[in-house]
Amino acid sequence: MASSTASPATLPSTNKAAYITAAKAHPLQVSNTPNPVTLPSQPNELLIRNHAVAMNPIDWKMQAWAHIPIAYPAILGNDIAGTVVAVHPDATHGFRPGDRVLACPHGFDTKKDEHKGFQEHTVVLAELTARLPSSMSFEEAVVLPMGIATAASGFFNPELLGLRFPTLLSAGQSSTDGKKEEKQKQEEVLLVSGGASAVGGNTIQLAAAAGYTVLATASPKNFDAVKKLGATAVFDYNRYPAAAANETPGEESNSELVTDILAAVPAGAVVVGAFDAVGKSGWHIAAEFMARAVEAGIVADRPGAEAGAGKVFVATASPDWSTPTPRNAELKAMYSLSIIRSDIARKVFNEFLEPALAQGQIKAWPEPLVFGHGLEKVQGALDLLKDGEVSGQKVVVTL
């Protein structure tokens, strides 16, 4: 096997990681990995020296619930930002040692620790990596990768919403100019339930960049932030009645909240989908919205579907499979790493995200909440996220 491209002086002699040592073990244990470092073995792999990692709900859930089978000891972590240390000698992706990047580790897919985030060095895929503009810190950048990947999986996957890819702004063009051009065609509306979450906020940014009109739900304290991400109107999800969560959306449910959201759909516009980013009551809101939109005759046919068939779709992050699928609504779950099985990852991270960050079309969302420095702080950061008090922010640890 050919050796990876990197200066020997830049290669680490040790590599530390935060390990979960057994099912539900707490706290994580920080120690050296068995091998100092794993170099890229494939042309599309990069070795990253992590300078910031971010916490996601899946991380604390895997620790606290042990609901996903994994081999212990194991490393968690799905968001990193840092510096490229090594690339494969046959690489054609253009990344070089010294590049400042963000990346979404793919260890959840491969089950290999070298592909996971809570460590000093991670091997990542080039198609899940983007260079950072000089103005963006690692702490800001690290909030993006998994949110972007999950949003992309629900938004662009032809088996899910199957909507069009975003486009970069031309020189001197603003995001509102792009929307004006789209409005010369039939206006297309997307509902994002949970717009202030990492996945929801980045879905809004991708949808706005693709020319869709976005309606969203969020907590009132996050209304302004969600509008800045590209939502035209934002509604308080707390208005959705708890009782409606026990009903079949679109049949018994007829909530005032969804009535108001439907009233915000512009005259003559069509609804292209609903995207739930938070689960719980969020997918009930999205499902009821879609079911009632089809009753109103304002839902567009899904791309690739036969006319009049399969028109309604709700993509959801955490589906409640115990609740009946609503009339006129099809429910499937997103999976962030599904985008590596097609060209979606490359189109989003390499072709769009990198230049969009450079020109400010895509912003770091949510805001980073830096918990501390060092792998020893990861457990406390996960505990903070698990407590449920963080909103409109993403918990970050610097390394």
Q: Along the 399 residues of the chain, how does pLDDT read in single tens digits?
A: 445 665 445 677 899 999 999 999 999 999 999 888 888 999 999 999 999 999 999 999 999 999 889 999 999 999 999 999 999 999 999 999 999 999 999 999 999 999 999 999 999 999 999 999 999 999 999 999 999 999 999 999 988 899 999 999 876 566 555 555 555 578 999 999 999 999 999 999 999 999 999 999 999 999 999 999 999 999 999 998 765 555 555 455 678 999 999 999 999 999 999 999 987 778 888 988 988 898 899 998 766 555 555 567 778 776 666 666 666 677 778 889 999 999 999 999 999 999 999 999 999 999 999 999 999 999 999 999 999 888 889 999 999
Token pair of 395 as six digits = 């918990």
| Opening angle at CA 353, ends 165 and 386, nearest 5 | 100
**Is the Cβ–Cβ distance between 187 and 268 less than 8 Å?**
yes
Per-residue pLDDT tens digits for 184-206: 578 999 999 999 999 999 999 99
Residue 50, strand partner residues: 82
334, 153 Cβ separation under 8 angstroms: yes
Expressed in percent and rounded to 5, the helix, strand and coil fractions of the chain are: 35, 25, 45
**β-pair partners for 235:** 217
- Interhelix angle 198-209/145-156, rounded to 10 degrees, is 60
User: What domains can be seen in the chain, in order of their start residue?
Assistant: 8-143+366-398 (3.90.180.10), 150-337 (3.40.50.720)
132 close to 318: Cβ distance less than 8 angstroms: no
- d(CA 198, CA 367) in angstroms, rounded, equals 9
pLDDT tens track for 15-38: 999 999 999 999 999 999 988 888
